[in-house]
Amino acid sequence: MSPEIEAYRDTARTWVESQIAEFGRDARKGLSEADDLALGRRWQAAKQAAGYSAISWPKDHGGQGLTLLHRLAFEQEEIKHGFPNDYFGVSLGMPVPIVLRHQPGDWTRARAEAALRGDEIWCQLFSEPSGGSDLAGLRTSAKLDEASGDWIVNGQKLWTTWAQYSDYGVIVVRTDPSAQKHKGLTYFWVDMKAPGVTVRPVRLAEGRSEVNEVFFDDVRIPDSQRLGAVGGGFGVAMETLTIERYQATDPAGFGPPLQLFIDETKATQIKGKPAIEDGRVRERIARTYAMQSAMAAIYQRTLLSLAAGLQPGPEGAVHKLVSVRARQKLSEYAMDLQGVNGLRYDEELSRKESWAKSWMTAPTGRIAGGADEMLLNTIAEKILGLPQDHRPDKGVPFNQIPR
């Protein structure tokens, strides 16, 4: 990092540390989800007032007009303390920027300002029951009502993060089933309180319900809410997914740090001796340390590319694939070492503090933001240069593809 970025980081660190008592991990313990969301809204407002929200957004969009490196420096300091960012990551990461880009104006600017303060939340309605990772395989339909000019939407979306709290969302729907699967899609923004929109939270294994299934029953979307051309929805969707491509990451896969495992192996006994003296345990520590060091090196390369004005390549797929898989394996190993005690589940602990919660949430992490299989394809095709898998649906009208 340049001296300028490090100076910015130092200032940000001082401010972040001044906010820990009010908004940090300990302040959130014992809160209901409603109270935690309220705390999160106040945290967003505090960041916005201090100039740490939308750091890399253009100034005419309500941002600070700084670089991605400035934003990453702030996020690296923020992520250490468990602030209530969960509810706003998707909203500010992709939907709001894409609407600002395609429909600039006073109304959109007001929505962006409300989102930056935490007053409003947006969701992203992409995945469906029959097409999770295959975005072009979606079946939610939109038909044009010639009389009114509105689009009538019917179908279901799934795994929509924080849809139950969202005021608006962006959605990709199929407007031409006779076109090839990538070409018959159109992109809109939608009012989540519109008649015919039903949101049902999905309870995950750990007990939380941050994802939802969303049903659309004859929901009317004016054509003025269309983003991009009719039939150009897949391109806008890809644009959305690359807007906030580079974020602060964690070699531990957003699970407990390796040091926690080391500390616990010192306190755990195997045949009357500390577990850390066992060769198998020490090998696991060494392997995990080597893996995390490699992931940190990949991320550092990304930062150096950004600093040089370059666009980092697909190596982020390696980071996400390896780090979350390794987190799941280490969490399982840590639970096994604790025996029966490893099955104890403390609701008050986060997934970075509890091996049980980390193990329970790791499968979700391996799906969200690109499933393992997608990442393996990216690595094979973009890094290793292997040929693409055979696609029997290529060039075939969508309505002729067998279900």
Alpha-carbon distance of 398 to 403, in angstroms, equals 10
Alpha-carbon distance of 233 to 135, in angstroms, equals 11
**Sequence-ordered list of residues with C-beta below 8 angstroms from that of 96, at least 6 positions apart, any chain:** 111, 112, 115, 122
Closest CA to 135 of 333, 374, 314, 330: 374
Catalytic residue among 33, 244, 264, 332: 244
**Sequence-ordered list of residues with C-beta below 8 angstroms from that of 215, at least 6 positions apart, any chain:** 155, 156, 197, 198, 200
In order of 80, 188, 350, the CA distances from 257 in angstroms are 11, 40, 12
Alpha-carbon distance of 172 to 188, in angstroms, equals 7
Please indicate whether residue 244 is annotated as part of the active site. Answer: yes
Measured at the alpha carbon of residue 311, what is the angle toward residues 309 and 316, in degrees to the nearest 5? 135
Closest CA to 52 of 80, 15, 82: 15
Closest CA to 264 of 284, 250, 291, 249: 284
Tell me which residue has tokens 């589940």.
Answer: 345
Three-state SS at 278 = coil
Tell me which residue has tokens 């009389």.
Answer: 147
Annotated catalytic sites, by residue? 244
